[in-house]
Amino acid sequence: MILLRHGQSEFNLHFGATRRDPGIVDPRLTDLGHTQAAEAAEQLASAGIRRIVVSPYTRALQTVRPVAAALGLPVTIDPIVRERYAYACDIGSRRSALERDWPHHDFSAITEIWWPQEEEPEASIVDRAARFRADLAARDDWEHTLVVSHWGFILSMTGQSVANGQWLRCDPLAPPPASLTWHA
């Protein structure tokens, strides 16, 4: 599978400069983030992708838009690939708001409030990543699946810290990472 981290968000811009939570709920992409999404779409156009899974956060949905358009594929919304809930940016938009803002996507598989209500322990995201890895490994199309996700989820899947707009390949049949370093 290919794991793509969303483009730079308003949160990433401010947090990167100050290392403090700027309090932005479900942030949108910056201009640079939109550029990173367009570049990812161009880079992934010939990667053989046949299925796209995306986190319900706005920054991930904005990142997947040019990729899905370039490939002519629908997206599957799945909160299992969301970020670890630890900052204001990890408060999502309600399902009803997402349905209004993204009418061409199917949000029927998520609840109205699909993110946790309190900080998520690191072990929780590691467990989510392991469940996703096992589910994907059982599918015959995992090699042709793109997952648009977040720093913490990708770290949990691969043990690698990736930058905004960066993508990498991941074999769900390979052993999961032995240890993780939880700092961006």
Q: What is the DSSP string of 35-85?
A: HHHHHHHHHHTTS---EEEE-SSHHHHHHHHHHHHHHT--EEE-GGGSPPS
Res 182 pLDDT > 80:
no
Model confidence band, residue 137 (pLDDT cutoffs 50, 70, 90): very high
The number of helices, as runs of H, and strands, as runs of E, in the chain is 6, 5
What is the percentage of the chain residues whose pLDDT exceeds 90?
94
Res 103 pLDDT > 70:
yes
Mean pLDDT (whole number) for 41-63: 97
Model confidence band, residue 24 (pLDDT cutoffs 50, 70, 90): very high
Model confidence band, residue 14 (pLDDT cutoffs 50, 70, 90): very high
Sign of CA dihedral 31, 35, 36, 37: positive
Res 89 pLDDT > 90:
yes
Res 183 pLDDT > 60:
yes
> CB–CB of 79/56 below 8 Å?
yes
Mean pLDDT (whole number) for 142-150: 98
Work out the number of other CB atoms within 10 angstroms of the CB of residue 150.
25
> CB–CB of 91/59 below 8 Å?
no
Model confidence band, residue 43 (pLDDT cutoffs 50, 70, 90): very high
Q: Which CATH code, of 3.90.580.10, 3.90.79.10, 3.40.50.1240, 3.40.220.10, is assigned to 2-169?
A: 3.40.50.1240
Res 184 pLDDT > 60:
no
Model confidence band, residue 45 (pLDDT cutoffs 50, 70, 90): very high
The mean pLDDT of the chain is 95
Using alpha carbons, select from 105, 43, 46, 54 the residue that is nearest to residue 83.
54
Mean pLDDT (whole number) for 172-184: 78
Model confidence band, residue 72 (pLDDT cutoffs 50, 70, 90): very high
> CB–CB of 10/30 below 8 Å?
yes
